[in-house]
Amino acid sequence: MRAHSLTTLAAGRKTISASAIEAFAAQLHGSVLDETDAAYDGARAIWNGMVDRKPGLIIRCAVAADVVSAVRFARDNGLLVSVRGGGHGIAGNAVCDGGLMIDLSPMKSVRVDATSQLAWVEPGATLADVDKETQAFGLAVPTGINSTTGIAGLTLGGGFGWITRKFGLTLDNLLSVEVVTADGELRRASQSEDPDLFWALRGGGGNFGVVTAFEFRLHKVGPQVLAGLVVHPFDDAEAVLKQYRQALDVAPDELTCWVVMRQAPPLPFLPAEWHGRGVLVLAMCYCGDIAEGEKATARLRAIGKPIADVVGPAPFAAWQQAFDPLLTAGARNYWKSHDFTELSDATIRILIGAVRRLPGPECEIFIGHVGGAAGRVAADATAFPQRSSHFVMNVHARWREQGMDQACIAWARALFDAARPYSAGTAYINFMPADEMDRVQAAYGGSYHRLAELKRRYDPMNLFRMNQNVKPTASSQAA
């Protein structure tokens, strides 16, 4: 290993000698990579293909002790540091340019205690890893809808999906963590141990340390749920959306129904003449008794004249992966997001107009259905304050060629701006792109001041800044 000039927290450069790097590497169970290693490009590649950053060094951690060593090395040398879990974050904060990247992806263990309905999960695990192990026991933790997402970033930012309305956000089911804070110490945090830190970690993203283990509460789910898609012609979108919002007014917590609006992909159950044409999809899941689910979904399935209805009993783990083929890694992605307490007529008209102007065949709009159990948690119980929203809009611009960047990003921004007057004014930090750091304070609302004070306590130099960053209140933070 040769000497390296690495990016510092002060945006300068610091040369680390070969002997210092070798001494550091000798402490690790994992490995240190630089640009000469065959595994380097794979380790720095993440889900969003727009992100092409080159860390000076990548620390591939195998155990918690490696994370401790990496954080201390970064702190002692004043280095810019980023942390990669699943590498799925839209903003690309997992990868830094020229600094030290702490790669947790080798740490994938998931251990379940079926009797106590608990799971212990390492930070490199994906949602698919978690589902595979928990569903072996007929159990689940509420997570997201794309199984290639990493559990760590999802949890620390919130986490919502098909069973959130029944069991809460992912972070609502977090019982404890082991976390390496900016001082290089491995701590345990829970409601009874370091409760302030535990509060901040549940919603505060990567601001407060590197979590090396998560303890989750599990729930009985499946293995079969009632789930699937009802596909409508987009020309019927206004009527469908108005009936959709009415149906959800009486939806039980077991029922979740998302909306997807896009050009139809070549799904095998769609007639060929619909491939590439505009569609509105109702994607639903009922996580209770199948017979009760048939009753609960009947009103949604009776809306309009769908092209296809493929709702039926399905393995929960398989349904968790249903959208994976449309969300594969490597494409160029840009997101904009609003929370809504309701889908007003004006909002519906704006959404429909935007879909009629899709800039590419993979661009789409998701309307996530939340509320239920997640909405009954007090806004100040965790650092995640958006408890009154019923819908989360994700404007998902997705394309392949760099030449489409301007058109796709402009489309997403225009829809975001048009919908702003009808939104709740809050934001889901996991959906925020890199150019939205000015929204962080608004996203946290009344939680922001407490987060900034806790940032001062646990990370006064803002070592962990490659995230939706909360600035510490101390004036001594690094530039």
Question: Which structural domains are found in the chain, ordered by start?
Answer: 4-103 (3.30.43.10), 110-220 (3.30.465.10), 224-437 (3.40.462.20)
Q: Are strands 100-103 and 81-84 parallel, antiparallel or unpaired?
A: parallel
What region does 117 belong to: left with phi over 0, alpha with psi -120 to 50, or beta?
left
Percent of the chain with pLDDT strictly greater than 70:
99
| pLDDT tens digits for range 283-327 | 999 999 999 999 999 999 999 999 999 999 999 999 999 999 999
Average pLDDT over residues 438-454: 94
Residue 6: the pLDDT is 98
For 232, how many CA atoms within 13 A lie in the half-sphere containing its CB?
Answer: 23
| pLDDT tens digits for range 326-376 | 999 999 999 999 999 999 999 999 999 999 999 999 999 999 999 999 999
Supply the mean pLDDT for the chain. 97
Instruction: Name the band, by pLDDT with cuts 50, 70 and 90, for residue 402.
Output: very high
Beta-carbon contacts of 134 under 8 Å, excluding residues fewer than 6 positions away, are 110, 112, 119, 140, 141, 218
Whole-structure pTM value: 0.96
CA separation, residue 475 to residues 9, 65, 390, 449 (Å): 15, 31, 38, 15
Calpha distance 32→461 (Å, rounded): 25
Decide if pLDDT at 478 tops 60.
no
Residue 477: the pLDDT is 46
Average pLDDT over residues 231-236: 99
| pLDDT tens digits for range 32-47 | 999 999 999 999 999 9
Instruction: Name the band, by pLDDT with cuts 50, 70 and 90, for residue 1.
Output: confident
State both tokens at 385.
Answer: 């304050």
CA-based angle 402:427:336, to the nearest 5?
Answer: 20
Per-residue three-class SS string for the chain = CCCEEEEECCCCEEEECHHHHHHHHHCCCCEEECCCCCCHHHHHCCCCCCCCCCCCEEEECCCHHHHHHHHHHHHHHCECEEEECCCCCCCCCCCCCCCEEEECCCCCCEEEECCCCEEEECCCCEHHHHHHHHHCCCEECCCCCCCCCEHHHHHHHCCCCCCHHHHCCCHHHEEEEEEECCCCCEEEEECCCCHHHHHHHCCCHHHHCEEEEEEEECEECCCEEEEEEEEEEHHHHHHHHHHHHHHHCCCCCCEEEEEEEEECCCCCCCCHHHCCCEEEEEEEEECCCHHHHHHHHHHHHCCCCCCEECCEEEEHHHHCCCCHHHCCCCCEEEEEEEEECCCCHHHHHHHHHHHCCCCCCCCEEEEEECCHHHHHCCCCCCCCCCCCCCEEEEEEEEECCHHHHHHHHHHHHHHHHHHHHHCCCCCCHHHCCHHHHHHHHHHHHHHHHHHHHHHHHHCCCCCCCCCCCCCCCCCCCCC
Decide if pLDDT at 18 tops 60.
yes
Decide if pLDDT at 74 tops 90.
yes
CA-based angle 113:119:121, to the nearest 5?
Answer: 135
Residue 474: the pLDDT is 67
Residue 206: the pLDDT is 97
Peptide bond into 325 cis (omega under 30): no
Residue 277: the pLDDT is 98
Instruction: Name the band, by pLDDT with cuts 50, 70 and 90, for residue 479.
Output: very low
State both tokens at 379.
Answer: 């806004």
Calpha distance 177→163 (Å, rounded): 22
Calpha distance 78→98 (Å, rounded): 13
| pLDDT tens digits for range 369-397 | 999 999 999 999 999 988 999 999 999 99
Q: CA nearest 157: which of 212, 200, 98?
A: 200
Decide if pLDDT at 475 tops 60.
no
| pLDDT tens digits for range 173-231 | 999 999 999 999 999 999 999 999 999 999 999 999 999 999 999 999 999 999 999 99
Decide if pLDDT at 476 tops 80.
no
Calpha distance 139→175 (Å, rounded): 16
